[in-house]
Amino acid sequence: MAVITQAPILVTIGLSLVQWIVVRPDLGVTFVGLNNYIDILVTRDFYAVVLNTALITLISLAACTVLGILFGLMLNQDFPGVSIVRTLVISPFFVMDAVAGIIWRTMMLNSSFGFNESLASLLGIKPVDFFGVYSLLTIIILIVWQWTPFFVLIMLAGFRSISVEISDSARVDGAGWWRELLSIRLPIIMNHIEVAILLGMIFVLKVFGLIFVTTRGGPGYSSANLPFYVFRLAFLGWDVGHAAALAMVTVAITLAAIFVLFRWFRQRFAEASS
């Protein structure tokens, strides 16, 4: 079982060491050592894509965390229709990437016919070019829209686990709402926040469908992340060797990110409890 699950990655490593362009059978399959890796590391596109991936991940996780906490607080109250409000906020999470991308690309952000245009003309400005200059921002908006619900669910579970007495006693001590939030409630749900960020990062680093349906990584590579870059090399260029090498670099970066975040959380946790 263990071998089966990891075998594809071993094959990918093997493929990353050969030159194999499927649409050029005349070149054959030849062993080229680490040349594929070197080729990737000297292209400028690679660094642009790595930067995109980092920006997408950092900005969307930050936004999801803040919004997740705010919406979590909002839903942790009792008011008429709270379950409808919760359902509405969570709903984007169950929408497939393909549909989410389509709705945003057409009715919302389309600069000739969408709400983008009608809002802009209402304000007397030019519509925002969401699929040109701001394509990376568009991807981030979509990820935040889709993944904030996930953060909300976890934060809400966190806030619900806090007993009423704790926040009441803080009130009695005269702590204001903000003070109580920052120094009592957030520290208590820190574990929830960390889990949300860690899982969120794992998912955001894999994002593919949203990009495929909206910007196709373009213009150029301006809104491509690492998975999309691999896809372009593998299934549009049929360049197996380079795609496999890039896939392994992606794996290395992903593992490093997970590892660093995990270590950091662990350390912080150890300090807090000692």
Partner 1 sequence: MISRARGGRRLLRIAAAWCVAVLWAFPLLYMLLTSFKAEADAVPPSLWLAHPTLQNYEIVLQQQILRYLEDSAIISVATVAICILVGVPTSYVIVFGRLKKADNLFFWFLSTTLLPPVAMIIPVFLLFRVLGLLDTLGGMILIFSGVNIPIVIWMIRAFLLDVPREILESADLDGASRLRSFFSTIVPLCRQGIVSIGLLVFIFVWNEFFYSINLTYVNAAPVPVYMAGFMTQEGLFWAKLSAISTLVILPPSILGWFAQRSLVKGLTAGSVKG
Binding to partner 1 in span 237-256, by CB under 8 A: 240, 243-244, 247-248, 250-251, 254-255
2 makes contact with partner 1 (CB under 8 A): yes
Residue 97 touching partner 1 (CB under 8 A) = yes
Minimum distance between the CB of residue 83 and partner 1, rounded to whole angstroms? 10
**Long-range CB contacts (< 8 A, 24+ apart) of 33-40?**
36/241, 36/242, 36/244, 36/245, 37/245, 37/248, 37/249, 39/242, 39/245, 40/242, 40/245, 40/246, 40/249
108 binds partner 1 (CB under 8 A): yes
Nearest-approach distance from CB 108 to partner 1, in angstroms: 6
User: From the list 54, 74, 184, 261, which residue makes contact with partner 1 (rule: CB under 8 A)?
Assistant: 74
Instruction: Select 170 or 231, whichever has its Cβ closest to partner 1.
Output: 231
The DSSP-derived string for 73-102 is HHHTS--TTHHHHHHHHHGGGGS-HHHHHH
Cα dihedral 209/212/217/223 (nearest 10): -40
Contacts of 15 (CB under 8 A, 6+ apart): 240, 241, 244
Stretch that binds partner 1, among 23-31, 129-137, 170-178, 198-206 (CB under 8 A): 198-206
| 236 touching partner 1, by CB under 8 A | no
Q: Which of 37, 130, 131, 145 binds partner 1 (CB under 8 A)?
A: 145
Q: Does 118 interact with partner 1 (rule: CB under 8 A)?
A: yes
